[in-house]
Amino acid sequence: MRRIEADVAQLRVLTDRMNADAFLPLRQEELTNQQTPTRMINYADLVLAIAERLKTRRVASTKGLRPSHGYHTTGRYLLLRDRIGVWLGVDLRYWKQEGSTPIWCHIWSGEWYGVDPIWTRFEQLFGEGVVVDANSRSFPIALKTGVEHESVIDAAADRLTQIADALIHALNDLE
């Protein structure tokens, strides 16, 4: 009997995964609900506002860096503390996969990103606060709910400042 239960559980996981990636039939209310595009625009505008707040605080620079968009993303590159390159933006795939927030901070390996010396230490440094993949390290940027716009921006900028400072500290410890 245990074998059957295990098989059923495995089949359920497989079908759940297939259903999560399936194209669902469109519903009229999805197409005409103006709240959906309004919210998506809000998220993209939040990324710009967070970047500006980080620039004002002198935590980040966008000099020579451009916005970057893809089929499932919209955001921009930032240089944190004049040393760490990141991409900050709305990432629909990570939002769907992780379920925590639409806004993510991604770092990849490579000279421009500046984190190669600590690439394997991200889990140790951040615990569950980072999603570690083979090619990237990604930070969910939690958005405060039920508060004014400025509070959302400040909290997200605070989180990115903490990330930048922890990375700089870890890099400086190696020197």
Per-residue pLDDT of the chain (175 residues; tens, 9 = 90+): 667 676 666 666 566 565 567 788 888 888 888 998 999 999 999 999 999 999 999 999 999 999 999 999 999 999 999 999 999 999 999 999 999 999 999 999 999 999 999 999 999 999 999 999 999 999 999 999 999 999 999 999 999 999 999 999 999 998 7
pLDDT of 24 reads 80
Give yes or no for a contact between 99 and 91, defined as CB atoms under 8 angstroms apart: no
Predicted pLDDT of residue 142: 96
DSSP state of 67: E
Confidence (pLDDT) at 163: 97
CA angle 93, 64, 160 (to 5 degrees): 50
| pLDDT number for residue 10 | 67
Integer Cα distance of 62 and 78 in angstroms: 5
pLDDT of residue 13: 58
Which DSSP helix (H) or strand (E) runs through 138?
Answer: strand 136-140
What pLDDT, on a 0 to 100 scale, did the predictor assign at position 8? 60
